[in-house]
Each structure stands twice: as structure tokens, then as C-alpha cells.
Chains A and B, each alone.
Chain A
């Protein structure tokens, strides 16, 4: 409608200017109509693209969730084994302690009590670990609640690194890599949207493990794949660095990797949305920044900075 009014006004103005020059108004109006229907077409396409984009974001979420599940199974099994084992040991120890008390060996009974207490702490620790994994998985699959909350970045980084590793490992048994964490224990809790931030980290870890795996396929036997995550606090900013000694990023595509749908991976292995979504979440969602350092064939390092 706007276009039509504009054109009519234009015609009016033209008439006034050209005094008496006859213009075939009808013709112009017709042209205006066809332009307007084109505009409507564009609008429709744009809406469709918008919907497609939302669906793709959902797809990327589901894809990374799928990768997560295998990792999650392994990561929950481990703490559960510890919970079961330490509680079985404690049941035995309690029997032993009672026997010692009956015999009047209080010193020995006390020593056993100490062991029970230590085991109890282990049980609690591993129980909490399983708990936080399940909670994070639920956060990850939910797409509505997006509230900022004080978050332990170190715990998130440690957990997603393991999840990513075990997820890939479960899919491909030839995959293997060392993983390193250098987490600054003085890091304060930071206000972030935990599920968004978890996804950013998961994307970076998945990319890093993929890159070392790629390199391993061609490198000689001395190559030691390695992915590390480092956190620190500098000038009132939290810095998270994810580094891999994988294939690196060639200079000529470095500018493109943040673009949506840019991927060098075969269909089924990459959507090309990981980094662009990560960029949106870090920069637009958290007022932070993502930097990349890389050398082809040697390493890649993603550096995320977020203000506290």
C-alpha cells in the first residue's frame, strides 16, 4: 500500500511541475500494482526464510543434543558407579565398626568412622555430579527459559568438555584425544544464560575435537591430539580459551567461518550454524567477544571474553 500511495503522490507532483502535461495515470498505477505484488512476494519469502532459520537453529540444537546423549550416558554411568561402589564399601565398614565397638576397640572404630565419612563425601560429590549433568542436559534441550543467572563457568566448561569428548568417542571408537583443563579457581560466578553458554562451549569443543581427529587421520604416529580449555579473569573480564592442535583454519576461509551455513564438513557432519549461533549468543546475548587465533595445520584457539 505504501508504494502505491508514494507513486500516486509522485504523479501528482509531476503533474504540478509539468503543468498540463497529460500523464496516463492508469498505466502508472498498474505498474505500481505489479510492483506491490512483487513486494508482497518478497515479504512472503522473507517470512519463510525466517521460519526456515528458526527451524535450522532448532535442528542445530537437536544435532548437538544428539551428540550429547552418548556423552551423557557415559558421564552419568561413571558417577553412578562411584556412588554404588562407595556406598557398598560403607555398608561393609559400618558392620566392621560395630564389631570393633563390640570388642571394645574404640580407636579402631573411630578410624573406620573417619573412612566412612570420607566415602560419604565421595558419594555426595558424585551424586551431585550426575545431578548437574542431568540438569544441564534439560537446560540444553529447553528452548524457552532464557534467563541470565549467576553461573559457575569452570563447572560448565569442565562438564561440556567431557560431554563433547565422550559423545564423539561413543560415535567413533577410533577417535581419541587428550583433554586439558586450566581453570582459574578464583573465577567469580558470571551472569549468563547457562543453556546458551553451554551450547557455545559445546560447539567450540565439538569443532576442536573434530579438528584434531581430522589431523590425526593424516598425521604421523607421533601426533598427539590435544584439546584444552583455559579460564581466567583479566581486567574485570572473564576469558575462556578453547585451544586445539588440530587442522587449523586456512587464511582464505578465516573470514567466513562465522557466517551462517558456512561449513567445510561433509553433509551430516556439519550444519555451519555452530559458530554463527555462538557469535550471536556471546556478542549479542552477553555483550562479549569472540577472537580467533589459528595456524593452518597447527592449531586453532577461540578466545571468548565476557564482561562480568
Chain B
């Protein structure tokens, strides 16, 4: 399953690769990374048929995660990719907006990787 992770912090990439090393090795998950909402849209344009799940930070300079989410919902109707939103602030306003724009899940930073793993696995099934 191809998962696109969108976060402006570059070190999120080695972190995910380490955290999911077993799943990557077994071929269960495959990760792609974008450093901004703009990058993510560009990636999706070329590869959207492969990407099953998108995990995006909300608070990013430039295009926010919420904007990215709404763009994805308007552009890629079927099959609709699963979108999970992550934010550092964990506030109600962001949660409400994320849900309103059609997010499937809402996670708060610091990410609980055990929980994330479980959630990802339920979406695979």
C-alpha cells in the first residue's frame, strides 16, 4: 500500500522509514514523501492511481494541510484516497475544518506511532 506523507520537516522522512522499517521490508507499506502541499499535489497528479492513503500535517507554510485536503477531495473523486490529518496544535477549530473537508482521521503531534500503525492497518483491510 502506497502512503504519501506530507510534512515540511524533512526529518519526518528518515523517521517514518525507521518507524515502519518492518512493514516496509515486508512490502506491506510503501512510503512517498512531500515537503509541502504544492509538492504533494504535483506528486498526486502523476501517481494518484498508486496512492491509497495520504497522511498530511496541517500547519505548513504555504498551502496548509486543510487546503491540500480540500483540493484532493475536489480533484480525485474515485477512488477517494484515505486522508489523515496531523496537527501540532490539536485544537478544535482545525479538527472541525479537517472533518468538514472530508478527512478520514485526525491525529495530533507528537504522533503515537503504535496508534498510527493500528489505524493504517485498519485502512488496509
Contacts and interface: CB of A to CB of B under 8 A. Distances in A.
A81 interface: yes
Contacts of A93: 18
B61 A78 contact: no
Interface string B92-113: 0110000000000000011101
A118 interface: yes
B19 A85 contact: yes
Contacts of A170: 89
A133 interface: no
Interface residues of B, number: 19
A223 to B, nearest CB: 12
Nearest to B12: A82
Interface in B75-125: 88-89, 91, 93-94, 109-111, 113
A118 B15 contact: no
B59 A85 contact: no
Contacts of B62: 176-178, 224, 226
A56 interface: no
Contacts of A224: 62
9 closest pairs, A vs B, by CB?
A178-B62, A81-B110, A89-B18, A179-B61, A178-B61, A85-B15, A82-B11, A176-B64, A122-B11
Given A89-B19, A173-B94, A176-B62, 15 more contacts: A77-B88, A77-B109, A78-B88, A81-B110, A82-B9, A82-B11, A85-B110, A122-B11, A126-B11, A165-B61, A170-B89, A173-B93, A176-B64, A177-B61, A179-B61
Interface of A: 74, 77-78, 81-82, 84-86, 89, 93, 115, 118-119, 122, 126, 165, 169-170, 173, 176-179, 224, 226
